[in-house]
Amino acid sequence: MIRFWTAFKIAFLYITKTVFPINLSASYDYNQLTLVHNPFMSWQALAGMVLLALLVVSVLYKRTAASPIGIGAMIFLISYFVFSKFTVVGGQIMGERWMYLASLGICLMMAYALEKLYRRNRVFAIVCLVLTLSTYSAVIIRRNPVWANEMTIYESMAKTAPNSIQGHKALALAYLGEGDYEKAIPHVEASMRIYIGYEPITSMLQVLASYYSENQKSGKGIVVRGTGETNSLLLAMANAREGKPRQSLELVNSLVADKPERKESPIVLFTYALDYYQLGDMETLEQYLPWVPGESREAKLKNLAAF
């Protein structure tokens, strides 16, 4: 029933964001759109029920069925039903781009309402039309740069959907691809905080730990645009990956001593776990094990062994 109630909330978001395009986002993945367990505890789910009911009535009611209101409602409902989550549950939970065709139905209903208003008060109708077109044009102009390239899309996803792992993951991988570890680390850590068991997190951590050479062993020149703190963190991970847990521990202990809040860093906690695992200190490892990627304790230990 959770899926069923959540579908009404999604319907509300689709309809309202089509008419009032605010707080738009390219990502509604895991954790960004909260599920509805009880419809009476979600005003958005209740509003979605009312809006869908009104659309269905518009299609069935004789006086509106053959009018632009009924036809527009039918266009919307048929197009929307395909991705409504009432039937098909796979894939992304929600995507604004899926509303392109369905929005034609809403546009038809809005145009009909405006035409009715024009017959009664031309000036007011023209003012409404100008305001509507101006507002929508402004939204389009502001959103266009978001789709300029992959990096701008990922940056927008991380900003507009901070609770979704997809934007942080995509942006972290993009920064890692450019060798900008300084910018990648916060998004790797954001991904870890959202869902440590997410599979790509292991590969991101391996990329961070693999940036290692003779020059980097001295702690110099690891990151082109990095700070000393970032260099030390990467060197600690690199030492752990190279099977040098004591050197790694010395670095992370120094980082934490200089800035105690770094003890809350998922990457620091993961590095601690890796160090204590290699030292065979399983008792101390337990307090850091939650920050090791994996669904179960066995999977976490397996990841540490493979790292």
User: What would the mean pLDDT of 51-73 be, rounded to a whole number?
Assistant: 93
Token pair listed for 35: 């599920």
pLDDT 10s digits, 108-133: 999 999 999 999 999 999 999 999 99
100 lies in the same domain as 219: no
Is residue 10 in a domain?
yes
166 lies in the same domain as 234: yes
The number of distinct structural domains making up the chain is: 2
pLDDT above 90: percentage of residues in the chain = 46
Which pLDDT score, from 0 to 100, does residue 106 have?
Answer: 93
91 lies in the same domain as 165: no
Is residue 208 in a domain?
yes
Is residue 84 in a domain?
yes
Cβ partners under 8 Å of residue 236, min gap 6: 248, 249, 251, 252, 255, 271
Token pair listed for 7: 């579908």
Residue 230 exposure: Cα atoms within 13 Å on the Cβ side: 17
Residue 220 clears pLDDT 70, i.e. is over it: no
Q: Three-class SS string for 145-185?
A: HHHCCHHHHHHHHHHHCCCCHHHHHHHHHHHHHCCCHHHHH
Q: Which of 57-66, 70-79, 81-90, 178-187 has the lowest mean pLDDT?
A: 81-90
Q: Where residue 274 sits, what CATH number does that domain have? A: 1.25.40
Is residue 242 in a domain?
yes
Residue 73 clears pLDDT 90, i.e. is over it: yes
Residue 224 clears pLDDT 50, i.e. is over it: no
Q: pTM value?
A: 0.78
User: What would the mean pLDDT of 217-233 be, rounded to a whole number?
Assistant: 61
Q: How confident is the model at residue 214 (pLDDT cuts 50, 70, 90)?
A: very low
102 lies in the same domain as 168: no
Is residue 256 in a domain?
yes
Domain range for 274 is 151-306
Which pLDDT score, from 0 to 100, does residue 213 have?
Answer: 45
169 lies in the same domain as 283: yes
Which pLDDT score, from 0 to 100, does residue 32 have?
Answer: 74
Q: Which of 90, 107, 124 marks a domain boundary? A: 107
pLDDT 10s digits, 252-287: 999 898 888 888 999 999 999 999 999 999 999 999
252 lies in the same domain as 194: yes
Residue 115 CA from chain centroid, whole number: 39
Q: Which of 107, 129, 160 marks a domain boundary? A: 107
Which pLDDT score, from 0 to 100, does residue 229 have?
Answer: 81
264 lies in the same domain as 164: yes
User: What would the mean pLDDT of 81-95 be, rounded to a whole number?
Assistant: 76
pLDDT above 70: percentage of residues in the chain = 93
Q: Which of 107, 140, 163 marks a domain boundary? A: 107
188 lies in the same domain as 247: yes
44 lies in the same domain as 158: no
DSSP string, 189-208: HHHHHH-TT-THHHHHHHHH
Is residue 141 in a domain?
no
201 lies in the same domain as 275: yes
Measured between alpha carbons, how far is 184 from 226 in angstroms, rounded to an integer?
11
Single out the residue of 44, 21, 41, 22 nearest to residue 33, CA to CA. 44
Which pLDDT score, from 0 to 100, does residue 92 have?
Answer: 72
83 lies in the same domain as 172: no
166 lies in the same domain as 91: no
Measured between alpha carbons, how far is 189 from 200 in angstroms, rounded to an integer?
12
Which pLDDT score, from 0 to 100, does residue 227 have?
Answer: 57
Q: Which of 204-218, 230-244, 292-306 has the lowest mean pLDDT?
A: 204-218
Is residue 80 in a domain?
yes
Q: How confident is the model at residue 90 (pLDDT cuts 50, 70, 90)?
A: low
